Structure 1
Amino acid sequence: MRRLPVPVRNMSARIDPRLMAEGRRTRGALYASIGLGVVAALLVIAQAVLLARVIDGVAFRHQSLAMVAPLLWGLAGLFLLRAGLSYVSEVIAFKAAGEIKTYLRQELLGHILRRGPVPAAGENSADLAGTMIEGVEALEPYFSRYVPQMALVVAVPLAILALVFPLDWISGLILLVTGPLIPVFMVFIGYRAEAINQRQWQKLLLMSSHFLDMLQGITTLKLFGRARDEIAIVARISDDYRKTTMAGVRIAFLTSAALEFFASLAIALVAVIFGVRLLHGHIDFFPAFLVLLLAPEYFVPLRGLSTHYHARMTAIAAARRIFEVLDAPAPAAVEGVVPPMAGGLEISCENLEFSYADGEKVLDGLSCVFPAGRITAVVGPSGAGKTTLARVLLGFIQPQAGHVRINGALDLAGMAAEGWWESLAWVPQNPRLFHGTIAANVRLGRPDADSAALREAARAARALDFIEALPQGFETVIGGLGQGLSGGQIQRIALARAFLKNPKLLILDEATANLDMESEALVLDAIMDLAVGRTVIMIAHRLAMAERADTVVVLQAGRVAESGTPAQLRASGGLYAAMRNAGREEAEEISCAI
């Protein structure tokens, strides 16, 4: 994995308080669950007292069943009450944990969206999906089991000791000494378990990522004959995950074995001492029997803590990645909305500079103007900064220097991103269609659009004919990424989405780069119709798009190398003319080869 685990020794100390802070969001429910659980556990003491009274009365005081019947009814009532309290406590705890999970998933998704598509593109999508689903799900046992159990570990043993010491200080001393040995041992074991759980979580994310990569590249793997190799790799990764899981299970069994050893040793010691003292008449039956009943209950919360301690380890491993995502820097939200802008939008770029994490300048003092109501094509060799310029104009990234001004006055950096996005539509090289109907995908930018507006947008995008030819028309369900449609059809649905939104600004990022000539012609015709009366910026790879523009801006090494009308640039003999001639020669070579 790309991310190395932080030192285990410091991880729980940092993450545990943050998990508890998340728990405070449902503190009322958690406190209620803990309170009910504590009351249910304390009822065990009352049950033990009544049971000891019943046995002592019948066996040694020669009382009849009728005489101890009130005690038996009380015992049955306590049993039912305890069962009811335990049930309600667990239900409340699970609901509280569910609310925390929902909140964290909302926070994760919101933070990823606030960071924007550029940082998200640098993340492993399977890693993020695994963190949002399995990672958040792994926190449920922590909040619903481990946190309430921590309260029981404190309350119940103290209550039992408070009752045992007045009855028999020797037994109380034995319990007081042996009880803390178990948490101390668990802490030592916990360091090892935490490292194993962290490795287990990393391997789970690695396995998820590899599965996703394999499924997405299954065609390539089959064609290159590498499918069997991938099966072997998946088997190896799965086996590594199995070994790590089994190592964690061994630690859990070791913890349970140590707990049972100390608990059994303490109970046996108490029983032996009582046996000797009863034989010599140094203690009465009632206190001895009551303490023997309470001694196993003294260790029950500690057993529960051992059982759910693994939940804490798993939660810490998952929470580390969750908080890593939440702590990733996100741009500060700009208050307010974009002021109303009458007419078209003129966009001016002034000395823009931008570098990615590697430090290389992608935009280096770039200055240009995109006139209102005109079509401007941005061309240039690969790596010239075309896509980065589009990201700046879309508001996905902020330039490190320079300004983007709207209509000569408004600075794009001072506008609310959501307000700016309402004014524009974006059609990328590979538009994203989501699983659902074609109508739902077209309505993405305008959910309240009626059927007439939907059909008009599809007609303008040259998509109506093929949509109506489908079995269910606009209600045809397509798969994720537009499965079931051709590249040209996907592109035209994206254009229909832009038509329906009716934007003031249209940005196209190599919208015809992957299309055949027929589809490209249809898409270009639709773009020309959509461009009427709007400011259009076309990031062009194929110069057929640039030839239809009013103005062409040619980029090279992050700067504007030249600009003008297509005819002017062809005549100037500069970079644009060279690119056009190179494209023509390439087309002629392909034609000759055919």
Structure 2
Amino acid sequence: MKPLDPRLLRRARAARHYVLLTATTGVLTAALVVAQALLLAHALAPVVTREADWPDVAGTVGWLAAVVVARTAVTAVQERYAHRAATRTVAELRAQVLTHAAALGPRWLAQGRTATVATLATRGLDDLEPYLVRYLPQLLLAATVTPAALAVVLGLDWIAAVTIALTVPLVPLFMALVGWLTQGYAQRRLATMQRLGDQVLDLLTGLPTLRALGREHGPAARVRALGDAHRRATMGTLRVAFLSGMVLELLTTLAVALVAVGVGFRLVYGHLDLTTALAVIVLAPEVYLPLRQVGAHFHASADGVAAAEQAFTILETPAPARGRLAAPDLRSATVRLEGVCVTAPDRDLLAPAGLDLALAPGTVTALAGPNGVGKSTAAAVLLGLLAPTAGRVRVAGLDLRELDPDSWWAQITWVPQRPVLTPGTVAELVDDGRQVHPHARDRASRLTGLDAVVARLGAGWGTTVGQGGYGLSLGERQRLALTRALLDPAPLVVLDEPTAHLDHEGETVVLRAVEHLRGQGRTVLLVAHRPTLLACADHVVEVRASALEGADAAPDGPPS
């Protein structure tokens, strides 16, 4: 990432406003720094040389105090708005990353990127705050205060100005040398953190199963090892930051001392007056200070810079184009899959291969076939979550790619193999933000058997369910999702392996739910294995896979 990456200004409106504010405060700070040095010199020099007494320079001291107060106020304003702008910028980038990652689809996320996006959207982008609060203001000060102070020194003493001009380039040179090393450490630390996050997320997901098998302590050694790796990477970054800080501090100290020695000798031999000498000595550190602070805060912001680079990489990944046409009414429109082929990830396989399917309004259609042939993938294509490699999905003669996704999804209820449940009460999860009459909720829960589950819970419908459905078994989560689907008025219902986590009694519940949906005149697509579930369908479509070499034999269709 560049020192001031244009992508950050394009992506975050708060960052643009903040940069304008910081540039303004930088110009004011430069003027105040020069004024402070000159006023200090003119206040001290006459008193030291006995040309005036303190009452004679009282007015100058008053102006000096006013400049110090103004400089403090400018710094306070910049600090106040820095934290606010950093919070807003991180929030904007986080929302954009999550929105764009969702637009890229589940297949893109499934390619080892889920943990990356999760880590980036939580801990990773938070590290961008030091970059915005500390590094960026110092960068702008280096572009304003340093040249302004050097120009004033040049007007006062050209020898000191030449000395500063020859030593100033050493600061960015050492900053670059140390920064490249620190950047490598920061990238490794971020990669370690993402790896740790991936492992911990997998562990939390499988923890109920591990506890059931008595193996919950097994992964402890692996998590401990990842934690140690994260600690070592962090300490390595800090070690380099401290050492680089010492190098830059020593370099700027020697440079200022070199200027002071030259000024001192010329002052002793009468080649320079005390007022000019004091002004030059006070201004010399101000020339180096912004550059020194840029180097110091670069290390503190290195993690955030690495996270921002990853965020921009995700945001620059092309997403499928969104359609603009309103979706036809699915209560009367037929949905057709024509020659749909999807390339399986990491396999030389088309799954499904050449799938033809027609979903007529009010009918129940089942997708059958062995595991791995692409039944769930076909459902994802129908939902618009995955673009087919070949073939198309048509709705009342319109291509699905031409339809607005929001108008399409508003007419579909989807029950995946593992229902997604956010924290909330059982009633809130079933109602799903809709105004549902309690009697309708009770009728739907009796059909799915959720009423017996609610009766066993301590607080009934008011029982709080944790993240991912924590507090409910897999079968109970499936019953809750089925109840939610029954209460949703969407005309198309997609049930992906609805009996996957249910016993024989639960299978009967699903059959009753499907019959109830049929009675309501809703269109149902089932992904099923069990014969009893296939038997209740009006149409059963066998899904097949084929080797990738046989892709040419699949029905022709435009690539998506």
Equivalent in 151, 156, 174 of residue 163 of structure 2: 174
Equivalent in 371, 374, 379 of residue 363 of structure 2: 374
Hey, what's the Cα distance between the residues in 1 that align with 2:481 and 2:408?
19
Hey, what's the Cα distance between the residues in 2 that align with 1:344 and 1:22?
42
Hey, what's the Cα distance between the residues in 2 that align with 1:180 and 1:23?
32
Q: Which amino acid aligns with 2:384?
A: G
TM-score after normalising by structure 2? 0.90
Q: Which amino acid aligns with 2:409?
A: W
Equivalent in 331, 335, 352 of residue 347 of structure 1: 335
- Alignment coverage as a number of residue pairs: 545
Equivalent position of 2:312 in the other structure? 323
Hey, what's the Cα distance between the residues in 2 that align with 1:352 and 1:394?
13
Hey, what's the Cα distance between the residues in 1 that align with 2:231 and 2:70?
42
TM-score after normalising by structure 1? 0.85
* Structure 1: unaligned runs, 5 residues or longer: 1-11, 560-594
Q: Which amino acid aligns with 1:487?
A: L
Partner of 1:283, secondary structure, is: coil
Equivalent position of 2:116 in the other structure? 127
- 1:99 is the counterpart of 2:88: yes
The structure-2 alpha-carbon separation of the partners of 1:451 and 1:553, relative to structure 1 and needing over 3 Å to count, comes to same
Equivalent in 538, 545, 560 of residue 550 of structure 1: 538
Bigger radius of gyration among the two: 1
Equivalent in 170, 192, 195 of residue 181 of structure 2: 192
Q: Which amino acid aligns with 2:32?
A: L
Equivalent position of 2:424 in the other structure? 436
Equivalent position of 2:399 in the other structure? 411
- 1:34 is the counterpart of 2:7: no
What is the Cα deviation at residue 20 of structure 1?
4.9
Equivalent position of 1:567 in the other structure? none
What is the Cα deviation at residue 131 of structure 1?
0.6
Hey, what's the Cα distance between the residues in 2 that align with 1:347 and 1:515?
29
What is the Cα deviation at residue 402 of structure 1?
2.7
Q: Which amino acid aligns with 1:493?
A: L
Equivalent position of 1:569 in the other structure? none
Equivalent position of 1:274 in the other structure? 263
Q: Is the 8 A contact 1:41 1:82 kept in 2?
A: no
Equivalent in 437, 443, 467 of residue 480 of structure 1: 467
Query: What are the superposed Cα offsets for residues 127-183 of structure 1, whole Å, 9 maximum, x if unpaired?
Result: 211111222212222223222211211211222222222322211111111111101
- 1:388 is the counterpart of 2:371: no
Aligned identity (percent) is: 37
User: Which is bigger in relative contact order (C-alpha 8 A, separation at least 6)?
Assistant: 2
Q: Which amino acid aligns with 2:190?
A: W
Partner of 1:355, secondary structure, is: coil
Equivalent position of 2:506 in the other structure? 519
Partner of 1:173, secondary structure, is: helix
Equivalent position of 2:552 in the other structure? none
Hey, what's the Cα distance between the residues in 1 that align with 2:126 and 2:342?
39
Equivalent position of 1:296 in the other structure? 285
Q: Is the 8 A contact 1:37 1:86 kept in 2?
A: no
Q: Is the 8 A contact 1:30 1:96 kept in 2?
A: no
The structure-2 alpha-carbon separation of the partners of 1:285 and 1:509, relative to structure 1 and needing over 3 Å to count, comes to same
Q: Is the 8 A contact 2:426 2:464 kept in 1?
A: yes
Partner of 2:434, secondary structure, is: coil
Partner of 1:383, secondary structure, is: coil
Q: Is the 8 A contact 2:26 2:144 kept in 1?
A: no
Structural mapping, 1:11-90, within 5 Å: 12=1, 16-22=5-11, 26-90=15-79
Query: What are the superposed Cα offsets for residues 211-243 of structure 1, whole Å, 9 maximum, x if unpaired?
Result: 222333335556777666633333332232233
Q: Is the 8 A contact 2:355 2:544 kept in 1?
A: no
Equivalent position of 1:588 in the other structure? none
Hey, what's the Cα distance between the residues in 1 that align with 2:271 and 2:402?
86
Hey, what's the Cα distance between the residues in 2 that align with 1:328 and 1:34?
32
Equivalent in 240, 253, 274 of residue 285 of structure 1: 274
Q: Which amino acid aligns with 2:522?
A: R
Equivalent position of 1:422 in the other structure? 410
What is the Cα deviation at residue 110 of structure 1?
1.0
What is the Cα deviation at residue 371 of structure 1?
3.4
The structure-2 alpha-carbon separation of the partners of 1:468 and 1:295, relative to structure 1 and needing over 3 Å to count, comes to same
Q: Is the 8 A contact 1:111 1:326 kept in 2?
A: yes
Hey, what's the Cα distance between the residues in 1 that align with 2:350 and 2:488?
34
The structure-2 alpha-carbon separation of the partners of 1:450 and 1:144, relative to structure 1 and needing over 3 Å to count, comes to farther
Hey, what's the Cα distance between the residues in 2 that align with 1:226 and 1:486?
18
Hey, what's the Cα distance between the residues in 1 that align with 2:219 and 2:460?
39
Q: Is the 8 A contact 2:322 2:402 kept in 1?
A: no
What is the Cα deviation at residue 377 of structure 1?
2.1
Q: Is the 8 A contact 2:448 2:482 kept in 1?
A: yes
Q: Is the 8 A contact 1:126 1:205 kept in 2?
A: yes
Hey, what's the Cα distance between the residues in 1 that align with 2:32 and 2:488?
65
Hey, what's the Cα distance between the residues in 2 that align with 1:325 and 1:388?
24
Q: Which amino acid aligns with 1:515?
A: L
Q: Is the 8 A contact 1:461 1:499 kept in 2?
A: no
What is the Cα deviation at residue 299 of structure 1?
1.6
Query: What are the superposed Cα offsets for residues 422-456 of structure 1, whole Å, 9 maximum, x if unpaired?
Result: 22211222212111112221222x53445454445
